Structure 1
Amino acid sequence: MPVILITDALIFLLILVGVGFGLYAARHEHLRGPWRQVGRSPVGVAALVVILFYVGIGLLDSLHFHPLIESVAEVAAPEEPTSTYSTQIISVLDLWLSGLRERQEKTFSAPFATHLFVKEPIEQPDGGLIRGYPRLEHGGAHLADPSQRGVDLLLRGLLGLVKGLTLWAALMVTLIALLALRWRQPFHDSAGAIWRGETKAPWRVALITVGLMLLLSLVAAEWAAKYHILGTDKVGEDVLYQSLKSIRTGLVIGTLTTLVMLPAAVILGIMAGYFGGRTDDVIQYLYTTLNSIPGVLLIAAAILMLQVYMTNHADQFQSLVERADLRLLFLCIILGITSWTGLCRLLRGESLKLRETDYVLAARALGVRHSRVIARHILPNVLHIVMITLVLDFSGLVLAEAVLSYVNIGVDPTMNSWGNMINSARLELARDPVVWWSLLAAFVFMFSLVLAANLLADVVRDAFDPRLRAVS
């Protein structure tokens, strides 16, 4: 039975907005040209491929449903069985990663380990007890002799490489065939042009990046089928599963916050700069007052009020997933409220300049309505600022979630996020020996996404900046 959470609906709405903007940009050269330049940048294409892998995982984790328990035949109508659904809410990603989700150990285990990380009493065949490292229930349990772990990892890694290369070759042949049809030239000529880097779009970089991601994913999948490749945490949950589940949280924070702050920033910023006077004074007073309030204190106060509300109205929430989803949405709203002022200031300053240009003054002199002047002359000329700011702010918002969860005012503790992983891992850094893999896993996944977003942001900034386009 499908379940649509609030953040799921907003994610799909954001996708529709993105598709609509893409169709709009395709019909306008002042937007199509910069995006074409982004598509011809090798760095931008490689970063976009990595981001799309993250987005794909996040979308799979946004398709929620109640799993089917059993089919029970009714007594009155045995030919019409009724379906019984669980009250638990899971996602398609949970179903896909059911092996990682269900293979839970007793406590900590290191990456690729076959034994627990801590010593426990182990009963001997003669009834005696010794302290040692017991075997894991799932990690490496298929090995009769744990000393053969290295050979088994090597064989499984080679199998993953073969699968990855096969899939990559199939995708590559399909893409080259489609491009050959589009370019109306033989297959081998298209393949040679791509691998020599003679095409306008960097297809070679895109194929290499996709190949690396596929090889890494399939090798990891082969290993994860029998091992905990990133270890387990204190309660024995697989750290790789937690890291993959945290992707949706990071993407939601980075994108839905944009959906919240964008309308206010664009509308108020353009109004302040275009109309001036009392309108400008009121809007300046509004965002100056908001900036004077420490953002962390405002977020903490809002989250605490939400916690009180959810505690007093527990009957309104059917599951912990819905409670955590509402807190995530509320965090996006608060971050959006505290982050729209920067873009608003930029748009106000740009609108102040644009309202004095000749074409705007001529339109106003001819009696054109203010709304039409803004839509036709002001908004298209500030879209480059909006695009640059949004892409640059994405990585900052992903990092903000980690910081806020670290101080316990971020997402719900029951929700998987990189911030919660770091917050849990910090308590284990004082152990001897140190439990380091949860912190490292959160860092690697978050670093990869933020790095790709920053690289894409640099390319988008260079493409949309009118001064740089004028120089080139």
Structure 2
Amino acid sequence: MKPVLLWSDALIFLLVISLALFFWRLRRDPQTRERWADVFSSRLGMVAFTVIAAYILVALLDSLHFRRALENPESLATQEVFYDNKVSSVFDVLTGGMGDRFERTYSAPFALLSFEKENIKDASGRDIRDFPPLRHAGQHLAHPDERAADILAKSAKALFWGLLLCALVIAPQWLVLRGSPFPWAASWITQGVILSASVWMVSISHHYHILGTDQGGADVLYQSLKGVRTGVLLGTLATLVMLPIAVTLGVMAGYFKGWVDDVVQYLYTTLSSIPGILLIAASVLLFQVYIDLNPDFFAVGMEKADAKFIALCFILGVTSWSTLCRLIRAETLKISQLGYVQAAHAFGVSHSRILGRHVLPNVVHIILITFVLDFSALVLAEAVLSYIGVGVDPSMGSWGNMINGARSELSREPTIWWTLTGAFFFMFILVLAANLFSDLVRDAFDPRTSLRRADA
């Protein structure tokens, strides 16, 4: 196989390394470490963090891309190795080829027959119109009536192996962390549920389509899982693009005041007056034109889709910094009037040192709170943009693309509900965990919350 490194792959691994270094440096700051300890001291915080970590792990596994080597025909006498144009990932391998089992068209969850009638031949060779059997689901069954018993038997076996995997993963953690003051039991229970459900899904998907198939016959569960990487990356990268712009302009406006403040206010007021959806749509369409005019820049189709995805993250970040900039400007205006900052000015301390030692540390709580809050908002924004046709490329797994495709499916009779259900479930779990975690971060880092606790 041939490794493939996309821009988004490099960015997500750089992000994980940065987070690891951030938490490692926390050990040198007792005050910040104490605040993060407050976040993880509750069972809710441990559960929410474990869920978010599971999503990040799926995104990492889906970012290890490669192209498989093709077998050379016997008539071609050459030692050159040719590679498949399709880009796969380690996550695709771990799912046991879930994305390679295609049906003709729609099929319901755990169904054995197609959802739509087709012209088929009966046992006597006559043409009839009926529901044809699926190509992959239930082919091992001797009779359709055996389906319920077979699902129960295979589910029991899968859960046994899932519990065994849980024991192997959780037991070392228990040996190391059993004396910790943090409620690790809540995290271990969450890990057990996630691991058992993962083993069950991979095992059952070899024999059935758990969430059915879409119009093209692709497995809906597989598409929902592929959307995890897109959701995690989009929410994180767009937020990281937004933060430097908002922090720099907000601190400069609040600290230097005067004409600098006037320019920054003019910029974010002008940006806020432009309809965000129209601005994002126009920017995405302009970049799409650039991609179409320069096809030679991309070796495979996946690189083209990845370039559009990175551009979307950048555009979302550049167009969504005004709110945070206002908050940081207001906080900086307040901090710059405090006594210790005025004393630093009187002693001739440089502006850069005052900003680095007194201003930025006191706006960190706003940055952290905004980061975790905007993450979930940007995940939802991707679904809205894909719904209007300017989101992630259709070749990439995306909850927004699935919801967009479900528009016409919900108006059918009978309704095809499982495509929307799959996207909604996985997006809901991620957004809920991010929101719950953000509430805990806000309570721990917001000075006003700390003061209320002290008064109580």
Q: TM-score band (shorter)?
A: over 0.9
Map 1:14-413; keep pairs closer than 5 Å.
14-70=15-71, 83-179=81-177, 183=179, 200-413=181-394
Partner of 1:195: none
Report the alpha carbon displacement of residue 25 of structure 1 after superposing the two structures with TM.
2.5
Partner of 2:424: 443
CA distance in 1, matches of 2:10, 2:248: 24
Letter in 2 for 1:21: F
Report the alpha carbon displacement of residue 71 of structure 1 after superposing the two structures with TM.
7.4
CA distance in 2, matches of 1:433, 1:439: 15
User: Is 389-398 or 159-168 further displaced after alignment?
Assistant: 159-168
Report the alpha carbon displacement of residue 237 of structure 1 after superposing the two structures with TM.
0.4
CA distance in 1, matches of 2:295, 2:336: 52
Report the alpha carbon displacement of residue 200 of structure 1 after superposing the two structures with TM.
2.3
CA distance in 2, matches of 1:270, 1:170: 49
| 8 A Cα contact 1:392 1:454, kept in partner | yes
Q: Secondary structure at the match of 1:367?
A: coil
Q: Secondary structure at the match of 2:133?
A: coil
| 8 A Cα contact 2:365 2:445, kept in partner | yes
TM-score, with normalisation over the residues of structure 1? 0.92
Does the C-alpha gap of structure 1 residues 384 and 72 become closer, same or farther in structure 2, counting only changes over 3 Å?
farther
CA distance in 2, matches of 1:169, 1:13: 31
Q: Secondary structure at the match of 2:119?
A: strand
Report the alpha carbon displacement of residue 87 of structure 1 after superposing the two structures with TM.
3.0
Report the alpha carbon displacement of residue 315 of structure 1 after superposing the two structures with TM.
2.1
Letter in 2 for 1:124: D
Letter in 1 for 2:409: E
Q: Secondary structure at the match of 2:188?
A: helix
Determine what percentage of the aligned residue pairs are the same residue.
52
- Alpha-carbon deviations, 1:402-446, whole Å to 9, x = none? 011001011112221001001111111121111110011111011
Q: Secondary structure at the match of 2:129?
A: strand
Letter in 2 for 1:52: A
CA distance in 2, matches of 1:394, 1:48: 14
Partner of 1:193: none
Letter in 1 for 2:86: Q
| 8 A Cα contact 1:72 1:83, kept in partner | no
| 8 A Cα contact 2:13 2:60, kept in partner | no
CA distance in 2, matches of 1:214, 1:286: 48
Which of 429, 440, 445 is residue 459 of structure 1 equivalent to?
440
User: Is 363-372 or 169-178 further displaced after alignment?
Assistant: 169-178
| 8 A Cα contact 2:61 2:90, kept in partner | yes
Report the alpha carbon displacement of residue 19 of structure 1 after superposing the two structures with TM.
2.2
Report the alpha carbon displacement of residue 167 of structure 1 after superposing the two structures with TM.
1.9
Letter in 2 for 1:4: L
- Alpha-carbon deviations, 1:125-155, whole Å to 9, x = none? 3221222111111011111111100000001
1:468 matches 2:420: no
Report the alpha carbon displacement of residue 280 of structure 1 after superposing the two structures with TM.
0.8
Report the alpha carbon displacement of residue 318 of structure 1 after superposing the two structures with TM.
2.0
Partner of 2:414: 433
Report the alpha carbon displacement of residue 82 of structure 1 after superposing the two structures with TM.
5.3
Report the alpha carbon displacement of residue 453 of structure 1 after superposing the two structures with TM.
0.6
CA distance in 2, matches of 1:71, 1:83: 7
- Alpha-carbon deviations, 1:62-84, whole Å to 9, x = none? 111222224799x99x9xx6543
CA distance in 2, matches of 1:11, 1:179: 28
Report the alpha carbon displacement of residue 222 of structure 1 after superposing the two structures with TM.
2.0
CA distance in 2, matches of 1:164, 1:468: 41
Letter in 2 for 1:66: R
Report the alpha carbon displacement of residue 330 of structure 1 after superposing the two structures with TM.
1.0
Q: Secondary structure at the match of 1:384?
A: helix
Gaps spanning 5+ residues in structure 1: where?
184-198
Letter in 1 for 2:423: A
Letter in 2 for 1:146: P
Task: Calculate the aligned-residue CA RMSD, in Å.
Answer: 1.8
Letter in 2 for 1:388: I
| 8 A Cα contact 1:72 1:82, kept in partner | no
1:2 matches 2:3: yes
CA distance in 1, matches of 2:188, 2:293: 53
Q: Secondary structure at the match of 1:130?
A: strand
TM-score, with normalisation over the residues of structure 2? 0.95
- Alpha-carbon deviations, 1:169-215, whole Å to 9, x = none? 233332222235xx5xxxxxxxxxxxxxxx62011111111111122
Does the C-alpha gap of structure 1 residues 72 and 147 become closer, same or farther in structure 2, counting only changes over 3 Å?
closer
Q: Secondary structure at the match of 1:116?
A: coil
Report the alpha carbon displacement of residue 85 of structure 1 after superposing the two structures with TM.
2.3
Letter in 2 for 1:211: G
CA distance in 1, matches of 2:99, 2:194: 23
CA distance in 2, matches of 1:465, 1:125: 72
| 8 A Cα contact 2:212 2:220, kept in partner | yes
CA distance in 1, matches of 2:359, 2:428: 37
CA distance in 1, matches of 2:27, 2:260: 34
